[in-house]
Amino acid sequence: MHSRRLSAAIVARLRARYPDATIVRRDLGRDPLPHADPGYAAALSSPAALAAGLASGAARLSEQLIQELEAADILVIGTPMNNFAVPSVLKAWIDQILRIGRTFSSSAAGKTGLLRDRPVFIGIASGGVFTGERANQPDFLTPYLRAALGCIGLNTLHFLPLQATAFLDDERLSAARETLLVAI
C-alpha cells in the first residue's frame, strides 16, 4: 500500500514534468510474474537453446520485459522492503530481465551492461528504518538493486526511502512522501 502510493506520487511528479510521456504500468503485486522455471533456465543454457526457448515461449516473457525496459526513458520501481530485501515478485522480474548476451555480457573482467542508462527512481516503503542516523535494521535491498540494475547498465539510480511506515500516522506519512518528492 505505501509503496504503491509512493510510486504513484513519483509517477505523478514525473508526469507533471513530462506531460507527453507514455506510461507503461506493471503492478507486480496485483499481477505477479511467474518465477523462473526449469524451462526458462534450460533456454538460457546456450545460444541454440535460447533461440529454441524464444520460439517455444520459455523465454518470451523475458524478451517482452526487456523490450519494455529498452523502450523506457525513465523507470519507476515502487517496492516494499520485505525482511530487509526485495519481495519475491520483484526478484522474479529481475530474474527475467538479467539475461546474459541480451542485457549484459560476461568476461573474465566481469559483467558489462548492454542497456542504455536512464534515470531509475526507486520508491521503497519500509515499516522500519534502514538508512540514516536512526537506522535499526539491515538493508540488503538497495545494494542488491544497485548491483542487479548496474549489471545491465542502469546506473543512474535514485532511491527514495519512505521509512518507519509502521509508526507514522497518515498525516506524517503524507509529509514524508512529499519530502522525498522534492528530490525529483
- CATH fold, domain 2-19+73-181, is Rossmann fold (3.40.50)
Q: 114 is written with which cell numbers?
A: 548492454
pLDDT-derived band of residue 121, with 50, 70 and 90 as boundaries? Answer: very high
Q: Where are the domains of the chain?
A: 2-19+73-181
Distances (CA, A) of 92 to 33, 67, 152, 168: 6, 16, 16, 30
Q: Which three cell numbers stand for residue 2?
A: 505505501
Q: What is the pLDDT of residue 56?
A: 74
The pLDDT-based confidence of 179 (bands split at 50, 70, 90) is very high
- DSSP-assigned states of every residue in 133-176: TT--S---HHHHHHHHHHHTT--EEEEEEE--GGG--HHHHHHH
C-beta of residue 75 within 8 angstroms of C-beta of residue 25: no
Report the chain's mean pLDDT, rounded to a whole number: 94
pTM listed for this prediction: 0.94
Q: Record the cell numbers describing residue 19, joined without a space.
A: 506531460
Block residue for cell numbers 535499526 = 136
In this predicted model, what pLDDT tens digit does every residue of 81-103 receive, in sequence order? Answer: 999 999 999 999 999 999 999 99
pLDDT tops 80 at residue 51:
no
Q: Can you tell me the mean pLDDT for 58-63?
A: 89
- pLDDT digit string, tens, across residues 127-175: 999 999 999 999 999 999 999 999 999 999 999 999 999 999 999 999 9
Q: Could you tell me where the beta strands, DSSP code E, fall in the chain?
A: 75-80, 104-107, 110-113, 119-125, 156-162
Closest-CA residue to 141 (of 53, 81, 99, 89): 81
pLDDT of 53 higher than 70: no
- pLDDT given for residue 48 in this prediction: 78
Residues 131 and 11: their CA atoms lie apart, in Å, by 23
Which residue matches cell numbers 534515470? 119
